[in-house]
């Protein structure tokens, strides 16, 4: 007989011993162990400590052994093992067709784009490089009066985004395949949420194994991480409405961006839920390009 407490301790011990890298939505091996144990037992991910002294069913224990092996030996991120990920107050289908949801742009969405956006709900929002759709769907959920367009080049990622859209059924969101903002009409977008690939060559070479299960097209962005950013800036300048804003996540490539555009005003965000390398630029500033 194994209790949930024992299963949890054993799993955490295995993850710590293997030195797994926790960079996919969970703070540490303890949090990852909780997620694996609850998923293996098909329990609510928010279950409380009242379950700790209950016995784990044999089929759940068998599943937990499989999950732990995938995490420890294959280094699969938890969300690819359980098939579910979360961002803000929404959960999503998750698989290697798209990145595991974790963008710090989440804070901007749940904060209603304040204090930067001068208005209430922005009429038109684009989730640029949407992957599995976590940011765009969160935006559609938090601003039901906004029209949200989820855009990605990769057909596989978009298939996952569509699956997530079907599950949540937000009437104000739609998914479209496209190369960045090529098909978006000029002067029409109020908010662009851009989470493009931005990992530079040096960081790509040093990535922990966990990230190698994610699509390369979602991460790699050339020598300095800016391969797509130059086009995003020029296209955003064209498609943003007069009061429009570009929220851009560039992570460790922030220094390269600052070097490349020393005269472009960028406000770097100090985000409540952590994360770094996110800036906001206004249409009027992009007009300086
Ligand atoms: C960092 S991931 C985005 C992750 C997303 N926020 C999520 O939660 O799944 C970057 C995405 O950019 C897409 N992408 C790469 N090149 C693109 C392009 N030229 N146009 C549009 N999307 C592109 C990739 O397919 C990938 O899904």
- What residue spans define the domains of the chain? 4-82, 91-286
Report the atom number in ligand 1 closest to the C-alpha of 127.
Answer: 6
* Cβ–Cβ under 8 Å, residues 4 and 51: yes
Q: Is 56 in the pocket of ligand 1 (CB under 6 A)?
A: no
Q: What is the DSSP string of 234-248?
A: HHHHHHEEEEEEEEE
Q: Residue 274 — pLDDT band, cuts 50, 70, 90?
A: low
Q: pLDDT for 248-269, tens place per residue?
A: 999 999 999 999 999 999 999 9
Instruction: Determine the number of helices (DSSP H) and then strands (DSSP E) in the chain.
Output: 11, 9
Could you tell me if the CB of 179 is within 6 A of ligand 1?
Answer: yes
Express as a percent the part of the chain with pLDDT over 70: 99
Tokens of 149: 């367009």
Q: What are phi and psi of 191, to 5 degrees?
A: -135, 130
Q: How far apart, in Å, do the first and last CA atoms of the chain sit?
A: 66
Give yes or no for a contact between 143 and 112, defined as CB atoms under 8 angstroms apart.
Answer: yes
What pLDDT score was predicted for residue 270? 86
Q: What local confidence, expressed as pLDDT, does residue 276 receive? A: 83
If one residue of 135, 137, 157 were mutated to test the ligand 1 pocket, choosing by the most ligand atoms within 8 A of its CB, it would be 157
Q: What tokens were used for 225?
A: 């991480």
pTM: 0.96
Q: From CA 88, how far away is CA 264, in angstroms rounded? A: 31
- Ligand 1 mean position, distance from CA 93 (Å): 16
What confidence category does residue 195 fall into, taking pLDDT thresholds of 50, 70 and 90?
very high
User: Does ligand 1 come within 6 angstroms of the Cβ of 225?
Assistant: no
Return the structure tokens found at 156.
């596989």
Determine how β-strand 267-268 pairs with β-strand 278-282.
antiparallel
- CATH architecture type of domain 91-286: 3-Layer(aba) Sandwich (3.40)
Question: Which H/E stretch holds residue 81?
Answer: helix 78-82
CB of 132 closer than 6 A to ligand 1? yes
For atom 26 of ligand 1, which residue has the closest CA?
A: 218
CA-CA distances (angstroms) from residue 157 to 75, 94, 100, 152?
A: 21, 10, 11, 7
Question: Best mutation site among 106, 149, 196 for ligand 1, i.e. most ligand atoms within 8 A of its Cβ?
Answer: 196
What's the confidence (pLDDT) of residue 119?
A: 86
3-state secondary structure at position 3: strand
Atom 4 of ligand 1 has which residue's CA nearest to it? 131
What ligand 1 atom has the least distance to the C-alpha of 134? 8
Q: What is the mean pLDDT of residues 23-28?
A: 93
- From the CB of 218, is ligand 1 less than 6 Å away? yes
Fold annotation for 4-82: Helicase, Ruva Protein; domain 3 (1.10.8)
Torsion of CA 109, 114, 119, 122, to 10 degrees: -20
Split at pLDDT 50, 70, 90, the class of 273 is low
**Contact status, residue 99 vs residue 215, Cβ threshold 8 Å:** yes
Number of neighbours of residue 251 by Cβ within 10 angstroms: 19
**CB atoms inside a 10 Å sphere around CB 145:** 9
Cβ-based burial of 266 (10 A; exposed 0-12, middle 13-18, buried ≥19): middle
DSSP 94-129: --TTSPPS--THHHHHHTTTTTTSSSSS-SEEEEET
Read off the pLDDT of residues 115-127 as tens digits, 9 standing for 90 and up: 999 988 999 999 9
pLDDT at 271: 78
Most ligand 1 atoms within 8 A of CB, residue of 92, 154, 248 to mutate: 154
Q: What is the pLDDT of residues 67-81, one digit of tens each?
A: 999 999 999 999 999
């Amino acid at each position: 007989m194994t209790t949930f407490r024992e299963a949890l301790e054993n799993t955490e011990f295995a993850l710590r011993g293997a030195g797994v890298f926790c960079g996919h939505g969970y703070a540490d091996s303890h949090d990852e162990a909780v997620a694996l144990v609850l998923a293996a037992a098909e329990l609510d991910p928010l279950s409380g400590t009242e379950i700790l002294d209950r016995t784990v069913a044999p089929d759940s224990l068998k599943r937990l052994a499989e999950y732990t092996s995938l995490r420890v030996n294959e280094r699969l991120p938890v969300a690819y093992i359980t098939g579910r990920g979360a961002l803000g107050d929404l959960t999503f289908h998750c698989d290697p067709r798209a990145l595991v949801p974790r963008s710090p742009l989440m804070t901007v969405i749940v904060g209603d784009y304040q204090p930067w956006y001068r208005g209430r709900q922005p009429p038109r929002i684009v989730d640029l490089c949407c992957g599995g759709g976590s940011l765009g769907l969160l935006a559609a959920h938090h601003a039901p009066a906004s029209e949200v367009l989820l855009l990605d080049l990769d057909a596989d990622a978009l298939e996952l985004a569509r699956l997530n859209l079907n599950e949540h059924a937000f009437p104000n969101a739609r998914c479209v395949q496209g190369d960045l903002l090529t098909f978006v009409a000029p002067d029409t977008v109020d908010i662009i949420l851009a989470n493009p690939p931005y990992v530079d060559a040096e960081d790509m070479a040093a990535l922990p194994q966990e990230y190698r299960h994610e699509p390369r097209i979602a991460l790699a962005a050339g020598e300095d991480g800016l391969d797509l950013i130059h086009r995003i800036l020029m296209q955003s300048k064209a498609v943003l409405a007069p009061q429009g804003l570009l929220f851009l996540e560039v992570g460790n490539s922030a220094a390269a961006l600052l070097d490349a555009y020393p005269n472009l005003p960028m406000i770097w965000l100090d985000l409540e839920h952590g994360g770094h390398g996110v800036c906001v630029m206004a249409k009027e500033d992009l007009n300086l390009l």
